[in-house]
Amino acid sequence: MAWSCGIVGLPNAGKSTLFKALTALDVSIESYPFSTINPNKAVVPIPDQRLSELAALCDSQKVTPATITVFDVAGLVEGASRGEGLGNQFLGHLRDVDLLIHVVAGFEQPGSDYLDPAARLEIVDLELNLADIEVISRRRQKLEPKLKSGDQSAQYELDLLSTLEEHLNLGTALRDLSFSREDELYLDQLSLLTRKDMLYVYNLNEAYFLDPDCSFFPSNSPVVPMCASLEAELTELPAEERKSFLRAYGLQESRTEKLLQDCYKDLGLFTFYTVKGNEARAWVVPSGIRAVNAAGRVHSDMESGFINVEVIEWKALLSEGSLARAREKGICRVEGRDYPVKDGEVLFFRFRN
């Protein structure tokens, strides 16, 4: 299953610069609205030191990291939900992503009247709310004839949609509300933007990104302060120079790496590993997945013919120095199909062909 996130924000907030930092791609970065006309898309590997160490231990010639797909769309402007700027054309590209990354500029934007960062944040959040209200309104119009014909399910839908609209009109994002399982299954069909998890990137100048005031951001959403232009510069440096560059700013890792890790956590994902032949590979899965379903992520034949799985925690494998030694000491254990896989485990599936 592929996981994805979409980058949103006002024009010139630094979205395309962040996209370049995340993907190391040469994308159009200009100081005027709508320099991103067509959505940029890239599959981004998740930095994973555990995978690197496992590959080195097992002498794997091929290393395949877990990935997440990133979309960068045109900047939203006030009135986007009504079609202003590039409007709904680009809001539509965000409805299929799993997570939104909202870039808020903490500097004066060229060619624009000054807005404080809190006001910039509110403009985009409001447009996302209004876009959802528009979706709900269209859905209600389609349900009215069904209600008149006596369709009982239409009444349930209309009642739920009215509740959603009420909260959205009050400025409440739907991700902040709790729903029954039945409601969630219905809402999944609507792909509402404000139901999606949200991460914030506070994009600041080089002198201010280390310890900014982030108190105006919603308390229930992660915030990653960074200088996106600095992060984009990092991608152009050799690995050793990157380390020196980061140390000069007192950083152990780049802020884009932290952002990707936060995306993972916010989506409730974790990683398990397989080592087979000359390949070490990381697999991204939702928390709580059973061993038999994890096998299916590797190959459908493994799921249908599942027998059992041999499990060892990655640190234990590194500590023993080899899989053979770990087996000799009884550190590896065999689990059945319903075993709940945990983050960082190395799995060896047994299955019938």
Give the pLDDT score at 25.
46
Bridge pairing between strands 67-72 and 4-9: parallel
Residue 88 has pLDDT above 70, yes or no: no
Give the pLDDT score at 112.
61
Asked whether residue 253 is domain-assigned, the answer is: no
Asked whether residue 170 is domain-assigned, the answer is: no
pLDDT (average), residues 314-321: 94
Q: Nearest to residue 278, comparing CAs of 50, 61, 66?
A: 61
User: For 123, what's the count of Cα atoms within 13 Å in the CB-facing half-sphere?
Assistant: 20
User: For 230, what's the count of Cα atoms within 13 Å in the CB-facing half-sphere?
Assistant: 21
Asked whether residue 278 is domain-assigned, the answer is: no
CATH of residue 297: 3.10.20.30
Asked whether residue 296 is domain-assigned, the answer is: yes
CA distance 47 to 294: 21
- Structure tokens, 205: 């100048």
Give the pLDDT score at 215.
93
- Structure tokens, 323: 């899989």
Whole-number mean pLDDT of the chain?
85
CA angle 342, 346, 351 (to 5 degrees): 100
Please say whether the beta carbons of 284 and 46 come within 8 A: yes
Mean pLDDT is highest, among 51-55, 152-156, 252-256, for 51-55
Bridge pairing between strands 279-286 and 269-276: antiparallel
Torsion on CA atoms 286, 292, 296, 302, rounded to nearest 10: 160
Give the pLDDT score at 79.
55
Residue 31 has pLDDT above 60, yes or no: no
Residue 33 has pLDDT above 90, yes or no: no
Asked whether residue 250 is domain-assigned, the answer is: no
pLDDT in tens, 11-24: 888 888 998 888 87
- Structure tokens, 295: 């096998």
**pTM across the whole model:** 0.82
pLDDT in tens, 57-87: 999 999 998 888 888 876 665 554 455 444 4
Q: Could you tell me the residue range of the domain that residue 301 belongs to?
A: 288-351
Angle between helix 152-169 and 181-188 (nearest 10): 80
Q: Nearest to residue 5, comparing CAs of 44, 47, 49, 38?
A: 44
Q: Residue 32 class from Cβ within 10 Å (0-12 exposed, 13-18 middle, 19+ buried)?
A: exposed
CB-based contacts of 296, cutoff 8 Å, min separation 6: 302, 303
Q: 191 by DSSP, 3-state: which? A: coil
pLDDT in tens, 184-224: 999 999 999 999 999 999 999 888 888 899 999 998 889 99
Give percent of the chain above pLDDT 70: 89
CA distance 34 to 89: 12
State the total domains in the chain: 1
Asked whether residue 276 is domain-assigned, the answer is: no
The answer to whether the Cα torsion of 249, 253, 255, 258 is positive or negative is negative
> Position of tokens 């996130």?
5
Measured between alpha carbons, how far is residue 229 from residues 14, 115, 274 in Å?
A: 8, 20, 36
Residue 77 identity: V
> Position of tokens 């409007």?
87
CB-based contacts of 47, cutoff 8 Å, min separation 6: 65, 253, 257, 260, 261
> Position of tokens 């006030």?
78
Asked whether residue 293 is domain-assigned, the answer is: yes
CA distance 28 to 40: 9
Residue 307 has pLDDT above 90, yes or no: yes
Residue 130 has pLDDT above 50, yes or no: yes
Asked whether residue 235 is domain-assigned, the answer is: no
First and final CA of the chain: distance in angstroms?
Answer: 23
CA distance 330 to 351: 21
